[in-house]
Structure 1
């Protein structure tokens, strides 16, 4: 069984027991979160879609760690002007472990 859920405007796919890396969410490491915005549930026997979310369903997950993503380099360059500026950016990410998918 797996589910499609939505957090912070981004959709993710999750199975029970899997680890999902998503954009940073608030919470302490080791705390339990409950996700109620489930868009689809896929079971061996049937598929359930919500309009837009499924009522009375939830995902229980635990926050594993907060990390920084891969560095992205940003370059500003003007030819013949002797101007070059390089900056970088690292996205804040959170790893969560899916404990249970309740429907």
Structure 2
């Protein structure tokens, strides 16, 4: 059985035991969280109001920051060059179960 959950404006396909990185969430390591799935698949598919009967249970594993990416800007003819970096914060969560 799998489910598609929505977090931080993105959707993730998860099943029991998966560890995924989502946008930074509140909570300490070990805290429990519940997500309402957008779609539940497996033997039977449920979406919309039918998927609202299900709950995806998760546990916070850790908080961290991703790899640094560099953004370069360049304009020809005017000697304009810039380089900036960015590291996105994330929360790693472990899916503990999908319940009805």
TM-score bracket, normalised by the shorter chain, equals 0.7 to 0.9
Matches within 5 A, 1:1-103: 1-36=1-36, 38-43=37-42, 45-51=43-49, 54-103=51-100
Question: What is the TM-score of this pair, normalised by structure 1?
Answer: 0.85
Aligned length: 100
Counterparts of 1:5 and 1:89, CA distance in 2? 26
Asked if the contact 2:8/2:22 (under 8 Å) is kept, the reply is: no
Q: CA deviation at 1:24?
A: 0.9
Counterparts of 2:81 and 2:27, CA distance in 1? 39
